[in-house]
Amino acid sequence: MARVAIVTGGTRGIGEAISLALKDAGMTVAANYAGNDEKARAFTERTGIKAYKWDVGDFEACAAGVAQVEADLGPVDVVVNNAGVTRDGTILKMSRDMWEDVIRINLGGCFNMAHATFPGMRSRKWGRIVNIGSINGQSGQYGQVNYAAAKSGIHGFTKALAQEGARAGVTVNAIAPGYIDTDMVAAVPADVLEKIVAKIPVGRLGQASEIARGVTFLCSEEAGFVTGSTLSINGGQHMY
Partners of residue 206 on adjacent β-strands: 180
Active site residue 142: no
Q: What's the CA gap between 202 and 131, in Å, rounded?
A: 25
Q: How many angstroms from the chain centroid is the CA of residue 152?
A: 13
179: DSSP letter: S
| Candidates 33, 52, 142, 147; catalytic one | 147
What beta strand segments (E) does 189-233 contain? 230-233
Partners of residue 51 on adjacent β-strands: 31
* Dihedral, CA of residue 182, residue 54, residue 153 and residue 238, to nearest 10: -10
Q: H or E segment at 116? A: helix 108-124
CA 118 → CA 75, 113, 127, 234, distances in Å? Answer: 11, 8, 8, 29
> Rounded to 5 degrees, what are φ and ψ at 33?
-145, 165
Q: Is 182 helix (H, G, I), strand (E, B) or coil?
A: coil
What beta strand segments (E) does the chain contain? 4-7, 28-33, 50-53, 78-81, 127-132, 170-177, 230-233
What beta strand segments (E) does 91-214 contain? 127-132, 170-177
- Residues annotated as part of the active site: 147
